Amino acid sequence: MFSNRFTETFGVEHPIVCGGMTAVGKAELISAVAEAGALGFLTALTQPTPESLAQEISRCRDMTDKPFGVNLTILPTINPVPYDEYRDVIIDSGVKVVETAGANPAAHLPAFKAAGVKVVHKAVAVRHAVKAQELGVDAVSIDGFECAGHPGDDDVPGLVLIPAAARALEIPIIASGGFATGAGLVAALALGADAINMGTRFVATTEAPVHRAVKDQIVANTERDTVIVFRKFRNSARVARNSVSEEILEISAREGATFEDIAHLASGARGRARVLEQGDVEGGMWWASQAQGLIHEVASCREVVDTIVGEARRITRERLGSQLVG
């Protein structure tokens, strides 16, 4: 029922994506997403070296023979990242779909295209999505204001951003930000998207390589349990509401505050170690979207995907079908 140009282009059963999530996009999660009929992305920079990425791709292949991709997030860093080497590992490993994010992916597109790799680029604004289409990417993942991570500074929610992007683009669109249910899938398709991307929903699965306490906290949280940090520093980010993110907000509001004043609280290494690995949900900053308010249980990836697809089919058949006239 939900076969479309997205499923046909990327060779998957369902128009559902698990986009790249640092420290979470590992083989045990992404192989389970693939086995459920969706498209998942290992995160290249979760692996400390290009060689370890090659090993993780191989490990994922040992767990599934279905399609999966790799996320390559390109950001300015204090210590140089060998992006070209990560790119070459992706190509040499035979991965056929890549999700790029962060900076302009133009420098890497010729190599990906020459190797027959399809590229999905993540964007937070229509103008950025249009630019990506002009560069030759195969699809765009458009992030509404509801999303975890970096929604940009325009504050445009998906209800407006998705149809605005659909009007401007000719390539497939993946709607991202606040999706966790079959109703959301139906809504995204109605707004002009070809698929949905879910991050927070897939973190709250049995296969996600994070501490159970984090998954249980996502279930316990509501749609109000996120905050936007770093806005003052032109790097807005949506994270889970806890004592650390609240402290980041309080310090940032002080006159003359700089990022250095909150760097120890915002450390990604701190969040990974204390929160994701040790399960101290108050121990660091961690990413979560407003979709928390729609997540009511920890389930397997297959259960999540099957439930969403089943609900979407029922809505389409029963609720919408019964209201069609003429």
Kindly state the average pLDDT of the residues 311-317. Answer: 94
325 pLDDT higher than 70: no
- May I ask the CATH class of domain 5-208+298-323? alpha beta
The whole-number pLDDT of residue 321 equals 66
How confident is the model over 29-62, as pLDDT tens digits?
999 999 999 999 999 999 999 999 999 999 999 9
Closest to 251 measured CA to CA, from 273, 237, 266: 266
Residue 299's pLDDT band, with cuts at 50, 70 and 90, is very high
Q: In the predicted model, is pLDDT for residue 1 greater than 90?
A: no
Give pLDDT, residue 80.
87
Mean pLDDT of 242-257: 96
pLDDT at res. 35: 98
pTM, whole model, 2 decimals?
0.94
At 2, the pLDDT band (50, 70, 90 cuts) reads confident
Q: Average pLDDT of the chain?
A: 95
CA distance 107 to 84: 9
Specify the long-range contacts of residues 161-168, CB closer than 8 Å, at least 24 apart.
Answer: 161/125, 161/126, 162/188, 162/191, 162/192, 162/193, 163/191, 163/192, 164/126, 165/126, 165/129, 165/140, 165/192, 166/191, 166/192, 166/193, 167/192, 168/126, 168/129, 168/130
Please report which confidence band the pLDDT of residue 75 belongs to, taking 50, 70 and 90 as the band edges. Answer: confident
Where do the structural domains in the chain lie, given as residue ranges? 5-208+298-323, 226-287
Looking at residue 155, what is its pLDDT? 93
Q: How far apart are CA 211 and CA 280, in angstroms?
A: 9
Share of the chain above pLDDT 70, in %: 98
In a 3-state reduction of DSSP, which class is residue 16? strand
pLDDT digits (tens, 9 = 90+) for 147-202: 999 999 999 999 999 999 999 999 999 999 999 999 999 999 999 999 999 999 99
